[in-house]
Chain A
Amino acid sequence: GAVVSQHPSRVICKSGTSVKIECRSLDFQATTMFWYRQFPKQSLMLMATSNEGSKATYEQGVEKDKFLINHASLTLSTLTVTSAHPEDSSFYICSARYGGSDTQYFGPGTRLTVL
């Protein structure tokens, strides 16, 4: 149980375009979802926390207008990287937690490459 999927697993786009990444909890209702960014050989950096039906809470230094997060349902959150640039290239990982749970369940990640 507690499976989280991400789509796409890998995306390559041109500079200036927008990219949407989906994160789904497949067998549970995720009251809270998290978006992380991971650079090569580094730990996960929390970008934002989103609760279903409310606005995401962004970490300091993360641009809200660039990384748009929507958590419209209890099983789906999306991260849209707007006007992507090469420096946005990274591994993006989502995780989900259901109410009262002590554990975050992670998706498999999305590799974004901006040319």
Chain B
Amino acid sequence: AQSVTQLDSQVPVFEEAPVELRCNYSSSVSVYLFWYVQYPNQGLQLLLKYLSGSTLVKGINGFEAEFNKSQTSFHLRKPSVHISDTAEYFCAAFHPNTGNQFYFGTGTSLTVIP
């Protein structure tokens, strides 16, 4: 079975500090990886995705993530966070050759402290 693990359920960080949200996946086949952000009482918004090619992916709002195949990780980073980054972040995996299903992690709640 495929799975996505987000190691940190809550991450508090001071404003303008850097942050890393961790994500690991389990897959023996080719996988696409995604990060979504969810603000309170809203749906999910795509931050960035990795399909193939360069392992460093840049997304919206200054976020980036690096695909590391040997460590099966896809950690999300931002060098300097803002108050408006406070939200829930979900990592997801999609296997293009094995159907439609996305596998979501349990989410990481990022709280930016002023």
Contact = CB atoms under 8 A, between A and B. Distances in A.
Given A46-B101, A49-B101, A102 B51 contact: yes
Contacts of B101: 46, 49
Interface of B: 32, 34, 36, 41-46, 49, 51, 90, 94, 96, 100-102, 104-107, 109
Contact of A43 (B41, B49, B90, B96): B90
A25 to B, nearest CB: 13
B94 to A, nearest CB: 7
Query: Do most interface residues of chain A lie in helix, strand or loop, or is the interface mixed?
Result: strand
Interface of A: 4, 6, 32, 34, 41-44, 46, 49, 91, 93, 95, 97, 102-109, 111
Contacts of A111: 41
Nearest to B49: A103
Kindly list the 7 A-B residue pairs having the minimum CB-CB distance in the complex, ordered from nearest.
A106-B43, A106-B44, A108-B43, A43-B106, A109-B43, A43-B104, A107-B43
A6 B42 CA distance: 11
